[in-house]
Structures are given as structure tokens and as C-alpha cells.
């Protein structure tokens, strides 16, 4: 599959995988390997919850050989998100950060106003920000102006598994920003959802719950890896446009007739 680039770093796999809520560390490791993911997201809160547990978890992540994308999950204010990002940079040794500023506790919808403010602060501080946002065109433009070079619009609220709730908005975002890496983040529940997003021209998919909570996380991780590859190849092959009327696949001209 063709490669993509995040802040100058080339990546082969277009699946970014979260590391929370797996049945065991062993299942997590096997799922990451089965998926082919080269980037895993890690929460600072998960890493530093209890010292011994945090050290063991970090050792497991390092052993996978993946690039780490720390996140500010659970942050509800600009100051909280910025402080968490700064701490994550020290712990994980990377300028990358998946920036979350949650505005609604029920839907976990991003606070796009706080998100833009925090993105500006972090970008000015040398961070390479991956903002978790809605598929709003104005918010996207403001995030790019704030220094972001990647956008991560949601498909649906985190953990719902509902898929792509607003295909029109996602398609519009792709059309307005053809040269910006776009990653669908949150709401993906099935491999078919991921393939659909890739067929829209999205560059990658970030997911967690759909794999970690599956009956067979390893098998589901493998399925997502294949679906994302298929969706990308389908997009590059240029699918036919839907039409209202039937069109015969066998030409009528030259058909045998009987008198």
C-alpha cells in the first residue's frame, strides 16, 4: 500500500490503534501485531495510574516497536489538556500528541473552541498536534491556522460503534482539504465502517473499542487491517458513481434476435 506522512514521518500502515481496555496485555500485543499498525495511542493517565503497572505497560508498548501517539483523553479544559500534553512529552519523549478537549460529557464531543486555543499553544511550544475534532469546516480551518498539519474528525461519538454518522460532512471535509492528512477517529465499530471511510479518500483510521471489546480482539484487529487496505485500494481505483437508473453490464448492441 502507498505510504502516508505525518509531520514528515512516513507510515506504511493506515491503521492507528488504541491500547485501552484489552482483556490482557498479551491480547493487546497480539492484536497490535495482527493489525499491522505502526502507531499506537497511549493515555498519560493509563501510563501513570500506578507506578508498577505503568512501568510494565510502557515496557510492553516499547516492545511492540510502534511509534507512540500520546493523547490527552479525559481533558475538559485548555489548561488541563496543555498540561497533560507537556507531561506526556516528558514521559514518552515525543512531540506528537493527540489533542482532546472534551466539551460534552455525554457525547464526548470535542470543544472546538478550546481545541483551537490549545492547539495554538502546543504548536507554538513545538508540539506536532493531532486534533480530535468534529467534521466542521470552519473548525478545521482554524486548527490548520493554529499550526496543525493533521486533522482527526470523528465518525461518531467515542465508543459507540455507530460508524460514519455524517457522510456528507466527512466528504465535504475531504474535498475542502485535499492535501491535508485526514484520519477518522472515533465511532468506528465494524471493518466495513473503516473501509467506507477509506473509500471516501480518508488517509487513515484510528480506533480502539471496536477491537479491544470485540469477542476476538486479535481476529478483529486483523480484519480491520484488511478492510482499511481494501478501502484504500478501492479509492485509488476510482469507484463508479452511483446512478438512479439501471445500466446493463452486457451491451444490447449485437444481441442475438429471433424472428
Annotated binding-site ranges for 1-deoxy-D-xylulose 5-phosphate: 159, 186-187, 208-209
CB 19 within 8 A of CB 61: yes
Which residue in 134, 131, 190 sits closest to 163, CA to CA? 190
Binding site: residue ranges?
A: 159, 186-187, 208-209
Phi, psi of 99 (to 5 degrees): -90, 120
Q: Is 1 helix (H, G, I), strand (E, B) or coil?
A: coil
Active site residue 213: no
Find all residues with CB under 8 Å of 33, minimum gap 6, and list them: 64
- Enter the C-alpha cell of residue 226: 484488511
DSSP 149-176: S-BEE-SSSTT-----S-HHHHHHHHHH
Which one of the listed residues 3, 67, 98, 120 is annotated catalytic?
98
Angle between helices 112-124 and 137-145 (to 10 degrees): 20
CB 81 within 8 A of CB 72: yes
Residue numbers annotated as active site: 98
Amino acid at each position: 500500500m502507498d505510504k502516508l506522512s505525518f509531520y514528515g514521518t512516513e507510515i506504511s500502515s493506515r491503521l492507528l490503534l488504541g491500547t485501552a481496555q484489552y482483556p490482557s496485555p498479551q491480547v493487546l500485543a497480539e492484536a497490535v501485531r495482527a493489525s499491522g499498525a505502526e502507531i499506537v495511542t497511549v493515555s498519560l493517565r493509563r501510563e501513570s495510574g500506578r507506578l508498577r503497572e505503568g512501568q510494565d505497560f510502557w515496557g510492553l508498548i516499547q516492545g511492540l516497536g510502534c511509534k507512540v501517539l500520546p493523547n490527552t483523553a479525559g481533558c475538559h479544559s485548555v489548561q488541563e489538556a496543555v498540561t497533560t500534553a507537556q507531561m506526556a512529552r516528558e514521559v514518552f519523549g515525543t512531540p506528537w500528541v493527540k489533542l482532546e478537549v472534551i466539551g460534552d460529557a455525554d457525547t464526548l464531543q470535542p470543544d472546538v473552541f478550546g481545541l483551537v486555543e490549545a492547539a495554538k499553544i502546543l504548536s507554538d511550544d513545538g508540539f506536532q498536534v493531532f486534533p480530535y475534532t468534529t467534521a466542521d469546516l470552519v473548525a478545521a480551518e482554524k486548527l490548520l491556522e493554529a499550526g496543525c498539519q493533521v486533522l482527526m474528525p470523528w465518525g461518531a461519538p467515542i465508543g459507540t460503534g455507530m460508524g460514519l454518522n455524517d457522510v456528507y460532512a466527512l466528504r465535504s471535509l475531504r474535498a475542502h482539504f485535499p492535501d491535508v492528512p485526514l484520519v477518522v477517529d472515533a465511532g468506528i465499530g465494524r471493518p466495513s465502517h473503516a473501509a467506507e471511510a477509506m473509500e471516501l479518500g480518508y488517509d487513515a483510521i484510528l480506533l480502539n473499542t471496536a477491537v479491544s471489546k470485540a469477542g476476538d480482539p486479535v481476529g478483529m484487529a486483523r480484519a480491520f487491517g484488511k478492510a482499511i487496505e481494501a478501502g484504500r485500494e478501492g479509492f485509488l481505483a476510482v469507484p463508479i458513481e452511483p446512478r438512479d437508473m439501471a445500466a446493463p453490464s452486457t451491451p444490447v448492441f449485437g444481441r442475438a434476435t429471433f424472428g
